[in-house]
Amino acid sequence: MDSSAKTGKRPGKAKRRILTAAARLFRGRGFDRCTVRELADEVGILSGSLFHHFRSKDDILFAVMEEVIVDMDATLAAALDSAPTTHDELRALIHNQLEFIHGPQADATAVLVYEWNALSPDGQARLLARRNAYFRRWQEVLTKARSEGLTNVDPVVSRQLIHGALVWSANWFDTNGAMTVEELEQAVMSMILV
């Protein structure tokens, strides 16, 4: 007889459940418009109990973002490592970003991108290194791509343009719609390539 049977609560570690619910809530209604009570309700505990797991509401936002940014960077690093050509690396860049924006971590990724300003200055500072590392990988690939004649736009500029185009898809692309993520990936590729 596990504890979830006794308490009637859904299984899974509390921290995990809080983070998942927080990502969904923060994404849907914005960090500031969500109350800790709503979050606690969603998890099935009382608001006071949240503070046994996280020091503050800000801390929850930070944890959501940190987890996804660490994952995203690690996944990208691995994907780039196993990409034989620059063209494959380019595709890995886009694939990885879309995977996060529309995959299992979609909520957390959207929160990372669109609630960045809700994060405390301190939190931003602590996440900046990872963020920079991630974009450095983009930069390197795009620089190589231009030098190889695959694209003809300045890497700094194209990095931002592509990033903007990709993350915005969180707001319109429907995973259950007619178009698949692979097709979207292909469309982006065809815009980038000369």
Contacts with DNA by CB under 7 A: the residue count is: 22
Q: How far is the CB of 82 from its own copies (least distance, A)?
A: 27
**9 belongs to the binding site for DNA (CB under 7 A):** yes
**16 belongs to the binding site for DNA (CB under 7 A):** no
Q: How far is the CB of 154 from DNA (least distance, A)?
A: 41
**45 belongs to the binding site for DNA (CB under 7 A):** yes
Q: Which DSSP string do the residues of 3-63 spell out, in sequence order?
A: HHHHH---SS-HHHHHHHHHHHHHHHH-TTT--HHHHHHHHTS-HHHHTTT-S-HHHHHHH
Q: Which of residues 173-192 bind DNA (CB under 7 A)?
A: none
149-184 b/e (C-beta count within 10 Å ≥ 16 → b): ebbeeebeebbeebbeebbebbeeeeeeeeeebeeb
**Binding partner of residue 14 among DNA, its own copies, none, CB cut-off 5 to 8 Å per kind:** DNA
Token digits for 154?
Answer: 């300045």
**53 belongs to the binding site for DNA (CB under 7 A):** yes
Residue ranges that bind DNA, judged by CB under 7 A: 3, 6-7, 9, 14, 34-37, 45-53, 55-58
